[in-house]
Amino acid sequence: MGLNEDKDTTTTTTSASTPTPTRSLKDLVLPFKILVSPFKTFSQLAQSPRVVGLASLLGLLVAFAAITIYASATKIDLNINDQRTSFVVTEAFNGWFVSSVTSTMLNILLYWLVFATGLAIISRMFAGKQTSLALQLVSLAYLLSVFIALYAVRFVIYLALPPIPFNISSWPPTSEADVTNVLNLMKETWGPLPAYQFATIFSFLGFVWLLIMGAIAVKYLREVSWVKAFAVSIIGFAVTLLLFGVPP
């Protein structure tokens, strides 16, 4: 009888420690759950940090950054041999695209790393639940979901904007005069459009959203008051803002 009890205990322990397909599927949708239900999801992550969901998180981030950058490129028309030519059909596009996606991802990850590390370190000054830095960073990685939403909206906005015929033969512009002309033409063409104006407003709201999500994460990971959680997030975001400016 004792042997049977040992077997039952072993079976139960093994079943609990082995991730089921259903559990793995739930982990993969964590980036979306963070956006629609941040309180509940960060509360769950505080009890059980999930590494599996980071794979879908990174994949979604790369995908949305890539399609947004591609959408922006479709709005660039160059003057090649006195003919209006879309940038995406030129030989230089592939190299520019890979470089842009790579640099964008590195900037996003660096921005998140500084912000998340700041939250983890600064929150230690406010007491609360003691958690290792590694476990905190796993949970705080889901703050990257905000960037997925930002790039998804930017992608839709780019689709709504008209292409601009620039009077240059290569991209990006190199001389100071060309850069100035490009910026002026973009402002003149896109500035009055509601979609472009909404993009500016939404970018600001995105920064506020990231700050609030940071506070929610600190609240549940460290089990501190809301006042302390927001103080940590504001300080962490301010430091990141001073170092890198607005999020990429």
All residues at 6 or more sequence positions from 162 whose CB lies less than 8 Å from its CB, including other chains = 75, 189, 190
> How would residue 128 be classed by pLDDT, with cut points 50, 70 and 90?
confident
Q: What confidence score (pLDDT) does residue 109 get?
A: 93
| Both tokens assigned to 212 | 């609030």
Amino acid (one-letter) located at 62: V
Quick one: what percent of the chain has pLDDT higher than 90? Answer: 64
Count CA within 13 A, CB hemisphere, residue 29.
8
Average per-residue pLDDT for the chain: 87
**52 against 120, higher pLDDT:** 120
Please tell me the least confidently modeled range out of 51-60, 73-82, 156-165, 230-239.
51-60
pLDDT at 3 over 80: no
Mean pLDDT of 213-217: 95
pLDDT per residue as tens digits for the range 108-124: 999 999 999 999 999 98
Mean pLDDT of 98-105: 96
> How would residue 131 be classed by pLDDT, with cut points 50, 70 and 90?
confident
pLDDT at 212 over 80: yes
> How would residue 152 be classed by pLDDT, with cut points 50, 70 and 90?
very high
Biggest alpha carbon–alpha carbon distance for the chain? 90
Q: Which helix (H) or strand (E) holds 86?
A: strand 83-86
Q: What confidence score (pLDDT) does residue 23 get?
A: 57
Query: Tell me, what DSSP letter sits at residue 90?
Result: S
pLDDT per residue as tens digits for the range 232-245: 999 999 999 898 88
> How would residue 82 be classed by pLDDT, with cut points 50, 70 and 90?
confident
Q: What confidence score (pLDDT) does residue 22 get?
A: 61
Q: What confidence score (pLDDT) does residue 29 get?
A: 83
> Helix (H) and strand (E) counts for the chain?
11, 3
Q: What confidence score (pLDDT) does residue 90 get?
A: 93
pLDDT at 202 over 50: yes
Q: What are residue 201's DSSP bridge partners?
A: none
pLDDT per residue as tens digits for the range 4-47: 444 444 443 333 344 455 655 677 788 889 999 999 999 988 88
With beta carbons less than 8 A apart as the criterion, state whether 212 and 178 touch.
Answer: no
Q: What confidence score (pLDDT) does residue 91 get?
A: 92
